[in-house]
Chains A and B, each alone.
Chain A
Amino acid sequence: MRLVPCPDCGPREPGEFVCLGDSGGHPVGEDGLAEALYGRANAKGPVEELWWHKFGCRRWLKLRRNSATNEFVP
């Protein structure tokens, strides 16, 4: 329920966003394919996440969030 810091729009309600988490990116090549598709670290502490400001500027944001406290960290 913390406000999400959007560089375009300022701090906004999380309901305006879609959180994709760690997306796994776009796998190219056979190596590491399964890891990219299904492996997630599920780390406690700062994690890198992708957030989409769906009901705002529609920018995809790369944000660092502390998964234990939900605080966004720089």
Chain B
Amino acid sequence: MSGYRLLPLVPDDTVEIDFDGMRLSARRGEPLAASLIANGLSTVARSFKYHRPRGIVGFGSWEPNAVVETPDGIELATNVRAFDGLNARAANCWPSARFDAKSFLGTFSALMPAGFYYKTFRGPGGRLWPLFEPMIRKAAGIGRLPDRPAAETPKRNAHCDVLVIGAGAAGLAAARAVASNASRIILLDEGEAPGGRLLDRPDLRIDGVDGREWARLCAKSLAANGVRVLARTTAIGRYDGGLVVALERSPEGRPARLWKIRAKSIVLATGAIERPLVFPDNDRPGAMLLTAALAFAVRHGVAVGREVVAVADNDAAYDDAVALAMAGVAVRHIVDPRVVPDPELVAKARAAGIECHAEFTPTGIVGSPVRGVRLVGGDSRSRTLDCDVVAMSGGTTPLVHLHSHSGGRLRHVGKLRAFVPDGPHDGAWSAGACNGAASLDEVLRDGSAAGREAARAAGCRVDSTAPPRAEGGDARAEPGSEPLAADVAHRKAFVDFAADVTIDDLRLAAREGYESVELLKRYTTTGMAIDQGRMGNLAAIEALAQAKRVAPGLVGTTTYRPPFVPVPFSTIADTNGTLLRPSRATTLTAWHEAAGAVMYEAGAHWRRPGYYPQAGDTMEAAVRRECRAVRQMAGMYDSSPLGKFEVVGPDAATFLDFVYATRLSDLAPGRGRYALQLHEDGRLFDDGIVFRTAMDRYFVTTTTGNADACHQRFEYCRQILRPELRVGVLNVTEQWADIVVCGPRARAVLADTGLSLPERFPFLGLAACSFAGLPVQVARAGFTGELSFEIFLPASAAPQAWRDLLEAGRRHAIAPVGSEANHVLRIEKGFISVGHEADGICGPDDLGLSFAVHADKPDFVGRQALLRDRASPSGRPQLVGLMARDPQFVLPEGSAVLRAQGDRTRGFVTASCWSDALGRSLAMALIEDGRSLTGSDVTLALADGTAGAQVVPPSFYDPKGERQRG
């Protein structure tokens, strides 16, 4: 393969690029693959498994070999564009594609049959896998990702009546069939310009003009009529209900935009790609697809070699070979395994100076890169033709992937030796070559018909002008009955270039019993590499069909899944700095960050402070200091993410009595109660304090993590279970900030801030107060077991109030407190935390919360199951406290609890900490019938040994609760 330029480079258009350390001249904007061919490089890649030298085989997204690393990521050389300063290197090889250190693997390839890794490393008795896995993993995969993070790809949503995918002859005819001035139409195509295969065939004419000109004019008039025409855009997936995701690339070939298009109707005019022929050494650099050779010549002025031999078993290849010759590339011979090719086509080829050889089959390649092709004739005579390019054409593979993505069925067409869509599917009509149309006229008629169907289904008018017609005949792309050659004397005949799978691999797998096409795929890896088997799938299916002696239609295909072409993750992912999901900030988050807090993500993606380290602080020291402040002086924390709801209406009390297991209808206005919500299966769902603000109005707090789920439940109960109740629910989580001031000096801090509390303000009371001129609600509640005030105030006012409280609190040594300290304080008190102790398995009785269940109420969510649980209470996990025998040792959370050494697991540690207030470690645990074990010892299984602990009631600090009520 000694490629060269048919059109010389002009200085204005010339750029310098770097490939594998070589400086090359290229034409600005051409595919890197064209530059490599034009510079005479034939070996530009190494194969995936055997590291065989490989050249360019395909064009556009149909390239199985040439994967390159660029600073932007891993890409196909056929898709990367040449621009000044482009620096690319061949992937999967070192130091370069031409000299690859792992090429020795090819020498051993006879020892690496299908399933090699499974058989050798994972087979019966095989204990080698753990040993070899790191090495195998390191050798697997293609290319290295760039060091720097990929730029995010903008996303764009669009809606239309008719979406046409593919702007070749069929797609253009389809788009034209919809009355464009009255409909919203999107037409997208992967190429730089519309036309598809028309671009490669100057001999084709439509409606009196050159096919290329027809395509250009057609797209232009569609665009003028308001059709959105997207170039360089590949549809990568089709999903239920007319959703198509498409990737648009920049002129430099980089991902530029991810489209999510909702269409009422879709026309799939994705065309077909050529199949290579399967014969020994068909992967040598210089053996490529005939249509790719033609596209490089016509579109980019690059000849793939000096002497081309076309090996083809279908009529269309004759036209392509003639077109290639007309473009100035020396096509010497056409070799055709069929006995009697169409004499008219043969005459046309001969007139173009091409010698035709019927009834000759390729049996091998001479040289690597290619120096010739070996043939055997129908009379068994062998001969060899000299050439530097073998242009293969084994019929076409209709691109049915988008049809199949969301479940469209396929049928096998014997004449095409291919699968085509079995009728339209879910509002998507296939048309043209992807639908099995084999000549240009068929393609145009099919496109027009699909366009009309799609328009009608979308409720659009149909264009009344006559559909386009092809002039003169063109040859049909129906292949002959392909001979599938065997590997000859260890010379490999490749079916799947990208996955390095040969015809013998497939036959071996079939012999070993992998007779389902899905198993065959996974065992041999055929179809699992970067081109997802586009090039080799049909040959693999035919090989299996032959081995099973059934028709290929009965073998079926594997499942096609998005994405249709390789897509960098960065184009799909939404990134938010270092976070995967969008995060939520309270109005105080900025203050916490400025104060140097270590921020955690907590329930529903809130960013909240874990602790506030001071200079040189460890986390332990910071947490101790914060705990001490709360227990001895004063602390304050931002509890704004807490779920908050207004429940309003004449039936608000009845409603809450139904939603909660706790009775709330007898609360007096201005009072609150700790209340539980259960699942219908009687297990604890959520807890919180519910305040009554008026006879027909409640202020409900839920846990942070369940705020959204509670909202959903409240509405479910209101709309579905109790629609007769006159009540409304409003989620005010984000409207109200919540600042908690707690500790023995809490009341003094509030007084110093100018917040006057009512004279009589009992524990769990709620009062409307005024704070710096703002109406606020203050509750005597908290999660620390100290005297505690929760100030609910408009979120926008929180930053000023926080600063005021901090300022007033300075005299009382107030400290801001994070969630780590809160965790310690609640363990000291034995307060449960939903998610830790309420894990979806425990009921209220298990957690010692029976006091908050009023089962005498006639009905509430979970009541029936709760009553049944109570009927058989033994063996339940029960919440207990644990005191480690070694008071200095903090039991690891999650440790298994055993009654004694050798016993089975009875439970686990749910929460554990060092407590400064008690001067020792503390833990909570859920243990089977745990309360009956109070006072006795248990054993904890640790990663390295065991530890002993005593079971105690789960409340360590101020068990009577005098401090919080004081």
Binding site for B on A (CB under 8 A): 1-3, 18, 20, 23-30, 33, 36-37, 50, 52, 54, 58-60, 69-70
Interface residues of B, dominant DSSP: mixed
Contact B240 A1 (CB under 8 A): yes
- CB <8 Å contact, A26 and B721: yes
Q: Which residues of A contact B865 (CB under 8 A)?
A: 27, 33, 37
Binding site secondary structure of chain A: loop
Instruction: Give, as a whole number of angstroms, the nearest-CB distance from A65 to chain B.
Output: 11
List 4 A-B pairs, minimum CB-CB distance, nearest first. Answer: A2-B241, A1-B239, A60-B719, A1-B240
Q: Given the complex, which residues of B lie within 8 Å of A58, measured CB to CB?
A: 715
Q: Are the CB atoms of A52 and B864 closer together than 8 Å?
A: no
The distance in angstroms between the C-alpha atoms of A3 and B293, with both chains bound, is: 44
**A1 engages B868 (CB within 8 Å):** no
Do A30 and B241 contact each other (CB < 8 Å), given the known contacts A58-B715, A59-B719? no
Closest Cβ–Cβ distance, residue B951 to chain A (whole Å): 32
A27 partner residues in chain B, CB cutoff 8 A = 680, 864-865
Given A33-B868, A52-B712, A58-B715, A23–B239 Cβ distance below 8 Å? no
Q: Does B886 contact A (CB under 8 A)?
A: no
Q: Is B861 an interface residue (CB 8 A)?
A: yes
A3, A28, A59: the one contacting B864 at CB < 8 Å is A28
Shortest C-beta distance, A7 to chain B (Å), equals 13
Contacts A23-B716, A25-B721, A60-B720 known; list 8 others, CB within 8 Å.
A2-B240, A30-B864, A30-B868, A50-B720, A52-B715, A54-B708, A60-B716, A69-B426
Bound-state CA distance A59–B240 (Å) is 24
Which residues from chain B sit less than 8 Å from chain A, CB to CB? 239-241, 243, 262, 406-407, 426, 680-681, 708, 712, 715-716, 719-721, 859, 861, 864-865, 868
CB distance from B858 to the nearest CB of A (A): 10
In the bound complex, residues from chain B placing their C-beta under 8 Å from that of A37 are 680-681, 865
Q: CB < 8 Å: which of A3, A24, A33, A54 contacts B712?
A: A54
CB neighbours (8 Å) of B861 from chain A are 26
Beyond A1-B240, A37-B865, is A24–B680 a contact (Cβ under 8 Å)?
yes
Chain B hits for A28, CB < 8 A: 859, 864
B715 touches A60 (CB 8 A): yes
- In the complex, A49 Cα to B260 Cα: how many Å? 27
Q: Are B241 and A1 in contact (CB under 8 A)?
A: yes
Q: Cα distance A11–B708 when bound, in Å?
A: 23
Residues of A within 8 A of B864 (CB): 27-30, 33
Whether the pair A18, B712 counts as a contact (CB closer than 8 A) is: yes
14 pairs from A and B in contact (CB 8 Å cutoff): A1-B243, A1-B406, A23-B716, A25-B721, A26-B680, A29-B864, A33-B864, A37-B681, A37-B865, A50-B720, A52-B716, A58-B715, A60-B719, A69-B426
A70's contact among B241, B708, B712, B721, by CB below 8 Å, is which? B241
* Least Cβ–Cβ distance between A50 and chain B, in angstroms: 7
User: Which chain B residues border A26 with CB–CB below 8 Å?
Assistant: 680, 721, 861
Residues of B close to A23: CB separation below 8 A: 716, 720
**Residues A20 and B716 in contact, CB atoms below 8 Å apart:** yes
Nearest residue (CB) in A for B731 is A58
- Cα–Cα, bound, A1→B407 (Å): 13
Contacts of A20 in B (CB 8 A): 716
Q: What is the distance, in angstroms, from B481's C-beta to the closest C-beta of chain A?
A: 38
State how many angstroms separate the Cβ of B83 from the closest Cβ of chain A: 37
Residues of chain A contacted by B721 (CB below 8 angstroms): 25-26
- CA of A37 to CA of B864, assembled, Å: 11
CA distance A3 to B260 in the complex (A): 13
